[in-house]
Each structure stands twice: as C-alpha cells, then as structure tokens.
A and B are shown apart, each in its own frame.
Chain A
Amino acid sequence: MATAVESFTEQTIEVAGRNVRLLQGGTGDPVVVLHHSTGNPGWLPFFEQLAGKYAVTVPDMPGYGQSERPPWARDARDLGILLHHTLDKLGLERVTLVGLGFGGYVAAEMAAMNQHRLKALVLIGAAGLQPDEGEILDQMLIDFPDYVRAGFRDDTAFEQVFGAEPEQPIKELWDLSREMTARLTWKPYMFSRRLAPSLSEVQTPTLITWGTQDRVVPPVCAQQYARALPNSRVELIEGAGHLVEYEEPEKVAELIAGHVSKQ
C-alpha cells in the first residue's frame, strides 16, 4: 500500500499501565489525528500534508495497531479518557484534534470531556450519532476487506491505495481492529445517544467535513453534528467517500489549515 515515508518518528509511551504507540512528524502547532475503526496502517500522505505545517501526532488508539488493549474499555468514552491521559503525558495543550470516522466519535467524546485542551476540533465522516436517515454501515455483517472497500468512492480508489488484494499485515490490522471495535461499540453500533446532549456546551471551533458519497456514515450526520455543536461549520467534499483523507489528502489538509488559521 502507498504510504509516504519521509519524515516521521515512532515512539511508545505508557499510559494507564499499557503501551501506546505514536507516530509523529512535522513542526508547529500540535495536531492530533485519531484513526478510523480499521486502525492506522502507517504514516499516510494525509499526515505528511499536515506535517508540512504542524507537529502531527497520530496515536494507535488503545487496543488498536501496536497499542496494547485495555481490557476494561467498553465504549468510545473510555478511549477518550485514555487519549486525554496520553496527551497529558505528551504535554500537549491547545491541540487541534482531528477525528476520522470512529476516531471522530472518540474526538467528539474528548471534546465533551475537556474542551479546554482543544484549540480546534475537526470531525471527518465522524461516527457517534444515530443518523436521522439511513444507518451507519455495519462492518460486523460484511467481510472486513469489503468494509474498507465501501469506505472509498469506488473500487479504483480502493485499489490505488491497498491494491486489488491487500497485503496480509493490512488484513491482520483490519481483523484485529475489528475485534477492538466490537468490544467498544457492538451495540448500539457506532453511536451513543449520550453524545449529542453532552456536546451542547462545547464552544470549541469545529470543522465538520464529509465526503458527499460517504457510504459508511451517512452525510446527514454532518448536519446533526452541526446542530449538536454550537460553534461549528460544515464543509462537504464533493464526490468523495468516507475515507476522504485517502482520496483527497491535500484538500482535507487545506481545509484543516484554513480552519486552524482562523482560531
């Protein structure tokens, strides 16, 4: 699969008694990116784009990738607690928190918990809310390569990134990630009815971004997040799928930079 390999470092820190792995690159104001429920396969072109302007930190969320599983964690909120601890250990304040898909769900929970840490919030195709129309695509009822495939606007886009037949380590990442996801958000799947009410006092400037062809989290959720978060705005990316940061890394990075520069 195509990943940029230029300039990033890898480190592992201990948080609440378990290892958390981080990829970091770039300099500038801190940006923290939370990955999808399928885990983070590496230092992606999107991270490289952001690292041109910011000090980017991409943790493997606890239980995903090379971060150890907290066996007690039961929902996205628990991950949010651990990730706040992670940022404490890293001494990261006034961060721009970017959440992708399920990572967006966790990011929204983190904003509800402690908005003072956040300079800005960016939710990209974020899960977390029960869609007013349609449903979030249930990865538990399809094969996981098909689930990732559905994240792209079309098969060509999928194959450009992962090839026609993804490599074994990538499949293993998806498989293990799916298990952690099943521990955290089996039912209800990928949303919490407690989230929207707890966002109503969050004043963090929030950019809500969605691919208009998102087949995983219905784009209607963009408006629902906009209603839940008082200081937010929506930017749709025409024709893009759920994995918009794979499909349009430059465009997404530009939107984030535009959002951060206004704060």
Chain B
Amino acid sequence: MFIGYFTERPYQDQESGYFGAAGRDITDLGLSNESYDPRLGAELYNRYLDEKVYAEQMGFDGLMLNEHHSTPFCMGSVMNVEAAILARITQKAKIVLLGNVLPIWDDPMWLAEELAEIDMISRGRLVTGWVRGTGRESVAHNAQPPFNWERFQEAHDFIVKTWTTPGPFRWEGEHYHYRYVNPWARPYQDPHPPIWIPGVLSRNTVKWTAEHRYPYVMLATELEPTRQSYEYYAQVAKENGYEAGTQHRGYLFKVHVDETEELAEQAGRKYIQGPSNPFLEGNQGQVRPFIQNLPGLTSRTNLLPTVSSFALASSRGRQQAHQQAQSEAQKQQQQADPDKQDKGDFLGQYEEQTEKMSIISGTPKTVIPKVRHVLETLRPGSIFFWDGDGAMTHEDSMRSLRLMGEEVIPAVREIGKELDLQSPFEVDPKTNQPIPSAVSDDDGR
C-alpha cells in the first residue's frame, strides 16, 4: 500500500471576493490576474511546502503535486519548481507529479531535462505522471486541442526514448523535431522514473495506459464509475496478455481528519468553499463547457462511466454524453428519484458529497471505516488523501496531518495488508513480479 498526500494549493485570498461559499464564483478563464497579490502568493507557496514537509514527517509515502494554468484553484502552474524544492527539502517521500501536461510542451526535451534533474536531486524519488490537461491548459499555453492526444503520445515516446537511448540521436516526428537529442542530464532511476497516469474521463487514455502497463490513478471520481473504469483497464490488460493488479490502480480522494466530529464537519465543509477545482467531482464553481470542450480535445464518444456524473460531464462540456449515460445506466435509479443524482452533483451539497464518500471527514474513529470501504470497493494499491483544500486553513491542514500520522496511516496500512493491496513499489506493474527491495521494507514502500 502506497499512501500519498495531496492538496491542490488554492490561492486563498480573503480580499479577492472569490473566497468562501458566499463569494463570487470562479469562472474558467474569466478572472483577471490584476487581483493577484504576490505577497500572499509567497505566503501560500511556503505554507504548502511546509505542509508537504510535515506530511512526510507524519509518514506519508508520497507527496503529490498537480498542475493547472490561469486559475486560482491551483497554484501549481509550474509544478516542477515545487517538485525541485521538495526534492531538496524532503528526505524519503516519493515526489509524485500527476502530472505534467505533455501536449502543451512545445519542447519536451526541456521537460525530460527538468525531470531528470529533479530525480537526481531527490536521489531517485521522482514518480512522473503525465496528463493531457483540461481546456484551460490548452488555451493558456495555446496548444492546438485537436492534436492534444497525438502530442501527448509523441511527447511521451520522445521523453522515454531520451531517457533510455544513448544520445545523440535525431527525432523527426509529427509534432516534435530535434536534430540533436543528447541531454547531458539523465535520470537517477534506471531506466527512468516510474510513470503513472492520472485521469478522469477518457477511455483512450485508460486503454493507452493499460497497454503500457502504467498505473492509472483516478482523480476523485465517484466510487462506482471508478470501479467500472478499473474494470475497463483490466479488460485491456487481459487483451494485452497480463492480469491487472492492485499495483495498476491508484485513487485520489478527499479525506480530512480532525479532533472532534464538529471540527471535522467545519473543516470538511471548506472543501466546497473557497477556490476549488470545479472540474472535479463534488466541487462548486462555474465551468464554461466550451472552454473545457475545446474542438478535438477529447473524444466525443470514447468516455468512461465517470461521465454519468453531472458535475464532471458539465465541466467537460459533455452534458449530452451525461444524459445518455444517465438514461442507459441509471434508469432504475432515475425512476426512484429522477432528480436525485443531478441535484446532488449540481448543488455540490456537503451532505450529498459525504453520503457518497466524495468527501470523507471525521475523527479517525469514523474516517478509518470509510477509508476501508473505499479500499474494499476499489482495491487500489496506491491512494492519495486530498486534504487542506478549498477554504481550509493551515491549522486545519496541520491538525489533520498530525492525526493522519498518529492514527489513520498506521490503521490504513494494516487494512492494506489485510486486503493485500500491493503498490507499484512492491509489485512491478511492468512484470507483475515482486520487487526485491520492497520485501523487507516494513512500511510498505
């Protein structure tokens, strides 16, 4: 079992008017950066780095970072800078990047060099994940959305070759061209840092990920569609001649722990306040479907069962696909209460979110059984607790991290052992063979 910590690093500005449940909605690419305060940014970047260091001290195996652009809900627009700092100021936790937005890089060799440096500075603790990005990323860096998937694949192939083939060599592809590929810096890990792929919606990405035997990390999607998406991965794995195991499944979900149930509810409600990513399940905010649904960015039809979630579908401009998924897969539920699902997702009510475990918040006593339920339902070998988000304060985060370290992580490790949830550091996802160095490692890394 691999247990990681994640926060999206919201730009929490009480003065901006965008903060808090009663504040103005965050609209994709609809806010000017004139209200950005770099002094506040300085405080927040340092706060989030401090929390990561503390998370390592509390026993987390991994520190996950992500990247978004031109939006206040995620300050990680240059995630690799944060990763490089963590590489130096942490000691043993994996630095898990989920992930760099490959298609928006016009020069992926630069990315290969950056990641190799981070891997060396951390002495081999980098896990590199790659994503296709949402529409806002394509707009912010003006990457042509119809070629997003092609560029993702070609940049991946190029970087892996750069890391594994002695240079110099020449690369003349469809989207990338180099006359001299020979970066002096090479990754610390041999042959290269582990590659994990996060996702939410695209069947193409799951298929591709399973074909490459990379772990697939689902980002805060609802339980049942997540399980079905893992099943699709397993089906592709079978077609490719191997059995998918826990080492191929990762899951990010919202978990906050607090000293009392009252404090836990107060803090838990903050997940859906303040600046939070409207594109992911359970969060509030305004999305502009035409920006998320840029022409050709994702397939119109090749979608995962997660599209049945209204919030996700609408944030991706997929209302039609959502309606279809609703009518096909949820007919019975619809007959019982036609509006239940939509109301819950659309309104993002805290009660609704906790009911379906999109948010888990409580004391260790109440949180641990819910985490067990998630682990039993999905059987992931890697999990990430998403905490300290929305309107949560530094104090909220630190209380939770302490209790996670003292009570939740040890208990979850035991559950992981009981359920035989092996991480990609225990069983090699490429071969399904145990990794010798992991056998004697008591804490499961």
Chain A residues at the B interface, C-beta cutoff of 8 Å: 140-144, 175, 178-179, 181-183, 186-187
User: Hey, which bits of chain B sit against chain A, CB under 8 A?
Assistant: 29, 139, 142, 144-147, 289-291, 294-296
Interchain nearest-CB distance for A105 vs B (Å) = 17
Some 17 contacts from A to B, beta carbons below 8 A apart, are: A140-B139, A140-B295, A141-B29, A141-B139, A142-B290, A143-B289, A175-B295, A178-B295, A179-B295, A182-B145, A182-B146, A182-B294, A182-B295, A182-B296, A183-B144, A183-B146, A187-B144
Q: How far is the CA of A99 from the CA of B139 in the complex (A)?
A: 29
- Which residues on the B side are within 8 Å of A178 (C-beta)? 295
Query: Closest CB-CB distance, B343 to chain A, in whole Å?
Result: 24
Instruction: Known A178-B295, A179-B296; judge A143-B290 contact (CB<8 A).
Output: yes
Q: In whole Å, how far is A165's beta carbon from the nearest beta carbon of chain B?
A: 14
Tell me if A187 and B295 are in contact (CB < 8 A): no
Residues on A with beta carbons closer than 8 Å to the beta carbon of B29: 141
Closest B residue to A176 using CB positions: B295
Q: Which residues from B are CB-within-8-Å of A143?
A: 289-290
- Nearest CB of chain A from residue B62's CB, rounded to whole Å: 36
Contact A141 B291 (CB under 8 A): yes
Residues on the A chain within 8 Å of B147, using CB: 183
- Which 10 pairs, one residue from A and one from B, show the smallest C-beta to C-beta distance? A179-B295, A182-B295, A143-B290, A186-B144, A179-B296, A178-B295, A183-B146, A182-B146, A187-B142, A179-B146
Q: 9 more A-B contacts (CB under 8 A) besides A140-B139, A187-B142?
A: A140-B294, A143-B290, A179-B295, A182-B146, A182-B294, A182-B295, A182-B296, A183-B146, A187-B144
Q: With A140-B295, A141-B139, A175-B295 as given contacts, are A182 and B144 in contact (CB-CB < 8 Å)?
A: yes
- A residues near B294, Cβ cutoff 8 Å: 140, 182
A171 → B minimal CB distance (Å): 10
Q: What is the CA–CA distance of A144 and B146 in the complex, to the nearest angstrom?
A: 16
Which residue on A lies nearest to B288, using beta carbons?
Answer: A143
Return B412 CB to nearest CB of chain A, in Å.
44
Specify which chain A residues have a CB less than 8 angstroms from the CB of B289 in the assembled complex. 143
C-alpha spacing A182/B289, complex, angstroms = 17
Please, which residues of chain A bring their CB within 8 A of the CB of B296? 179, 182-183
Nearest-CB distance from A127 to chain B (Å)? 17
Instruction: From B29, B139, B146, B291, name the one whose CB has the most chain A CB atoms within 10 angstroms.
Output: B146
Question: A179 CA to B294 CA in the complex, in Å?
Answer: 8
Cβ-closest chain B residue relative to A181: B295
Q: Could you tell me the distance in whole angstroms from the C-beta of A37 to the nearest C-beta in chain B?
A: 11
B contact residues around A142 at 8 Å (CB):
290
Instruction: Kindly list chain A residues whose C-beta atoms are within 8 Å of the C-beta of B139.
Output: 140-141
A187 / chain B contacts, CB cutoff of 8 Å: 142, 144
Residues in A with CB closer than 8 Å to B144 are 182-183, 186-187
A177 to B296, CA, bound (A): 10
Once A182-B296, A183-B296 are accepted as A-B contacts, the answer to whether A144 and B290 lie under 8 Å apart by CB is yes
| Closest B residue by C-beta to A168 | B320
Per the bound structure, the CA–CA distance linking A50 and B178 in Å amounts to 51
Interchain CA distance A181-B146 in the complex, whole Å: 10
Question: Separation in Å of the B183 CB from the closest CB of chain A?
Answer: 27
Least distance between B175 CB and chain A CB atoms (Å): 11
Q: Bound complex: CA of A140 vs CA of B290, how far in Å?
A: 8
What separation, in Å, do the CA atoms of A142 and B291 have in the docked complex?
8
In the complex, which residue of chain A has the Cβ closest to the Cβ of B29? A141
Q: Which residues of B contact A141 (CB under 8 A)?
A: 29, 139, 290-291
Closest chain-A Cβ to B60's Cβ sits at a distance in Å of: 40
Shortest Cβ distance from A17 into chain B, in angstroms?
Answer: 18
For A186, list chain B residues within 8 Å (CB).
Answer: 142, 144-146
Chain B residues within an 8 Å CB radius of A182: 144-146, 294-296
Task: For the complex formed, measure the closest distance between the CB of B31 and the CB atoms of chain A, giving whole angstroms.
Answer: 14
Distance A186 CA – B145 CA, assembled complex (angstroms) = 9
Complex: how many Å from CA A140 to CA B297? 12
Q: Report the minimal beta-carbon distance from A53 to chain B, rounded to whole angstroms.
A: 37
How distant is the Cα of A225 from the Cα of B296 in the complex, in angstroms?
Answer: 32
Q: Which of A140, A178, A183 lies at the interface centre, i.e. has the most chain B CB atoms within 10 A of its CB?
A: A140
The residues of B that contact A179 with a CB separation of less than 8 Å are: 146, 295-296
